[in-house]
Each structure stands twice: as C-alpha cells, then as structure tokens.
Amino acid sequence: MMQKRFFLKTTAVAALALAAGHVLAQDNVFKIGLILPMTGQQATTGRQIEAAARLYMAQNGDMVAGKKVQLIVKDDTSIPDVTKRLAQELVVNEKVNVLAGFGITPSALATASIATQSKTPQVVMAAATSSITEASPYIVRTSFTLPQASVSLAEWAPKNGIKKVVSLVSDYGPGIDAEKYFKERLILNGGQVIESLRVPLRNPDFAPFLQKVRDLKPDALFVFVPSGAGAAVMKQFLERGMDKAGIRLIGTGDVTDDDQLNDMGDGAIGVVTSHHYSAAHPSAVNKKFVEAFGKANKGMRPNFMAVGGYDGMRVIYEALKVTKGQGGGDALLAAMKGQIFESPRGPMFIDAQTRDVVQNIYLRKVERKDGQLYNVEFDVIKDVKDPGKTK
C-alpha cells in the first residue's frame, strides 16, 4: 500500500515536471501558423509569400523578445474548408500565437470565426476583398484592397481618353469589389461601363468573354483576375488582336503581376495598371528587398504577394517586441494596430480603427527596362484608405 502510494506520488510529480518542462519549452517558442496555397491554381501566391516570410526571418533573426520564432507552413490548396480545418488544428494542437497567410478571400473568411473564438490575431497577407477585416476584430491586413486600387485607376482613365469601358472580373469577392468601385468612380468622372462581365474563379476560359469585348469595341477593357491568372488574359487579349483593334487593356496590378510579367512578351508594353507594389518601385528599401529576395530564391522576382508576406512578418515581429514576448492574442493585436513604417512598397500604416492597410496607390505602365518588363510607376495617390470602409 505504502509502496503503491509512493509510486503514484512520484509518477504524478514526474508527470507534472514533464508538463512544466513542456510549458516552459512552449513558453520560449513563438509560433506563426502560415496557411497558404502551396499547390493548385494559386500556388504562386503561396510560393511568393513563404519565400518572403523566410527572407524576413533570415534578415531579422528568429530570436525576438526572448522567444524563438517558429514558422509552421501549411498548404490549404486554396480550398476554404481546408484552410479552416488547418487553422483549427494550428490553434488547438500547435497553440500558435498568430495565424497568417490566406491566399484568397474565401480562405480568409473561413478562418475569421476561429481567430475570434480563440482570440488569435489573423494577419491577412494576400486576400483583398474590402469586407475581410470586418469578419473578425482579430484580423489585420498587410496586402491591399480592390477598392483602393480600382478607384485610383478610375481617376486616371477618363483623363486619358478612356470613357467607354467593359469590365471583366473573376466572379468572387475581390472581383465584385473591383467591378463596383471602378464603375462608380468612372461614372462620377464622366465615363461609363457599357458591360460588366464575370468569369469563374476556378479554371476560367477567357476566350468567349474576350470575343464579346471585341464586338463591343470599348475604349478599354478593365480587368481584375487574381495573381497567377494575368498571363492567360494577356495572351488571349493579344491573340485576338484586341490591342490592334484599338482596345486598351487596363486593370488593377494583379493582371501584370511581377511573378509573371517578364514572360508576357512585348505585347504587354504600355498596359496601365494601378497597385500598391511594383518590383520596380524606386526606393532604396525596395532595391535591397528585390535583390535579397532574388538572391535567396534563384533570381525570382518578388510580386505584391511577397511584399504582403514580408510586411506581415514585420507587423508580427514588431508586436512581439512591443509586448516583450509576454502578450497574449489581445496584447499582440493591440500592438499591431497603428503600426507605421516604410515597406518596400513605400510608406504604409495599419489603421487602428479598421485594422486595414493605408498606403500609396501607384499608376504604372509596363515598360522594358534593362531588358526586362516592369511596371514602371508614373503617378501616385498618397495614403489611400480602403474606400470600401463605411466607418
């Protein structure tokens, strides 16, 4: 009896000690669960963001405020149910301190309730539908919003001979935002959208839509497709000789994505887009970023997804520093709000009220520079807040 009790006691103590050791080990680790589409249609987005996150860590070390930062990358194949399940596992099993990534809007939205319930900051590095930040008070965004980019282009277009436009967008959140905000602002500026076309997000066939645009003969075709789909649009636009028929191609910068632009050929030269990031952004901070990114990734050029990932890591690192490694989700979130810094994209700011990004939107034209195709910035609208926010 005595012996048994003694045995029980020692095992209980041992178990406690083990648990304490585990807690201690956990305590010294700061986990970031990075959920991205690493395979499937949006794989380039995952590849860009993971590379940028790893670059940020290589440049800034993995010891922050006494914690060892650990990046846990999960592939959601851009299927929202998978994103949600992975987020749940990361929160419950891995006890991640922050959720990050989110290649497409449905994935970001599917995770919002988990962020809210577990009080885990959710740093959206890619997805760009305006309403995302309203889905959870724990969401902070470091990418952009489609209304930001679209409104800026609708300011430029009518002053540059573009009055009659057909819009063509991917038929989901960001596309619908782009369509709506571009149209409203164009009308306000004396232009008109004569037809609004929507293509499916999954396996889109642009051909019949482009044929329709050709028949309608607008001054320009305004396009939003997600990162990775731009090259296909460009190719079919040129194959149909639409540029020769006098139809200009304009869009948010997703269509002349730096991940693909250099392979689009000279037909892309002259295409005007509006966006928050170009690999050709002429600043010292960006030059360093592009160079280091290329060096670490076999010459790969960073696109706007990469910059969203890089800046997202910055926001997380700073929050960890400010909270001295002692804060839970609420403290981290508070330290993310209001951050202001110089990104490779230019100055940026996390609006404390909306948790959304305030940033410059640039007008850019595709040009050949040093033998390569770039989005060359020629105008800027400074400190653009998301026009989609009503509050």
For ligand VNL, the binding residues in 150-169 under the rule CB under 6 A are none
Between CA 284 and CA 303 the distance in angstroms is 17
Q: Segment 169-228, which members bind ligand VNL (CB under 6 A)?
A: 173-174, 226-227
Phi (first) and psi of residue 213, to 5 degrees: -60, -40
Tell me if 9 sits within 8 A of 48, measured CB to CB: no
Comparing C-alpha atoms, which of 145, 113, 150, 111 is closest to residue 126?
145
Does 104 help bind ligand VNL (rule: CB under 6 A)? Answer: yes
The reply on whether position 344 binds ligand VNL by CB under 6 A is no
Among 127, 140, 306, 335, the residue binding ligand VNL under the rule CB under 6 A is 127
Q: Does 128 bind ligand VNL (CB under 6 A)?
A: yes
In the chain, the amino acid numbered 338 is G
Of 147 and 191, CB closest to ligand VNL: 147
Residue 352: C-alpha distances to residues 137, 335, 349, 357 (Å):
11, 10, 9, 9
Q: What is the spatial distance between Cα 364 and Cα 282, in angstroms, rounded to a whole number?
A: 12
For residues 369 and 350, what is the distance between their CA atoms, to the nearest angstrom?
A: 33
When asked if residue 42 is in the footprint of ligand VNL (CB under 6 A), the reply is yes
Q: Which of 48, 83, 97, 105 touches ligand VNL by CB under 6 A?
A: 105
Kindly state the number of chain residues that form the binding site for ligand VNL, as judged by CB under 6 A. Answer: 14
- State in angstroms the smallest separation of the CB of 91 from ligand VNL: 22
What residues pair up with 273 in beta bridges, in sequence order?
A: 251, 364
Q: Which residue is nearest to ligand VNL (CB)?
A: 226
111 binds ligand VNL (CB under 6 A): no
* Residue 254 engages ligand VNL in binding (rule: CB under 6 A): yes
Give yes or no for residue 41 binding ligand VNL (CB under 6 A). no
| Residue 384: strand, helix, or coil | strand
45 interacts with ligand VNL by CB under 6 A? yes
Q: Which tokens hold the place of 159?
A: 């002053």
Closest to ligand VNL by CB, 254 or 386? 254
Point out which residues bind ligand VNL (CB under 6 A): 42, 45, 103-105, 126-129, 173-174, 226-227, 254
